[in-house]
Structure 1
């Protein structure tokens, strides 16, 4: 499973697409608190921290701003170091200047 390689974390913020019992159980086994809203068709809804989930919007907007740079969005640079440099420049332009 790809998720086995996740770094240690206390919370996982995800959207409704990740609302599955097996995924929630896996997170809890790893002592990660899931912050995932319930799907509309869930019969037994789980409680989740709405205030913490609102922080996910900030992350989504940050990725949206970085994707405004075509070089970052289409990953022109195949070398990881060059891509990271382009990403840093885009972040610098978006958030510092």
Structure 2
């Protein structure tokens, strides 16, 4: 059993919201539920989130999409790579989260208990 964690972190690298997806699902499927009801100025994401539907949703909200275009995109879209460098906060969050063995090896059998452990670990990381 594999589980994909799609996380939304704030400008300080602290967990704001997360969503668990089956391992075979694409990352961009989890973007819309994560952003629902949240006010953002910019979304910094990797190439896995590069799709027209997400970009249109962000434009409608007045948010900036800082997502590098995929290599197979017919018409390249510009990306602010100076702002994209701040994506390391998300990578640092996942790196710190994997220090908790229970999360890295997914000891919990249910999604509810697994997400609760992620929130608990994120709370611990925020208090450091």
TM-score range, shorter chain: 0.7 to 0.9
**After superposition, where does 1:1-97 map in structure 2 within 5 Å?**
2-3=33-34, 5-73=36-104, 74=106, 76=108, 78=113, 80=116, 84-89=119-124, 91=125, 96=128
Give 1 or 2: higher strand fraction. 2
Deviation per residue, 1:26-67 (Å, 9 max, x gap): 110011110000111212111111011111023212221221
Higher relative contact order (CA 8 A, sep 6+): 2
The alpha-carbon deviation at position 3 of structure 1 amounts to: 4.7
User: In 2, distance between residues paired with 1:44 and 1:86?
Assistant: 41
Instruction: Flag structure 2 segments of 5+ consecutive residues without an equivalent.
Output: 1-31
TM-score in terms of structure 1 length: 0.73
User: In 1, distance between residues paired with 2:81 and 2:74?
Assistant: 19
Runs of 4 or more, structure 1, over 6 Å off, are none
The alpha-carbon deviation at position 71 of structure 1 amounts to: 3.0
> SS state of the match for residue 38, structure 1?
coil
Rg larger for: 1
- The total of aligned residue pairs comes to 92
TM-score in terms of structure 2 length: 0.58
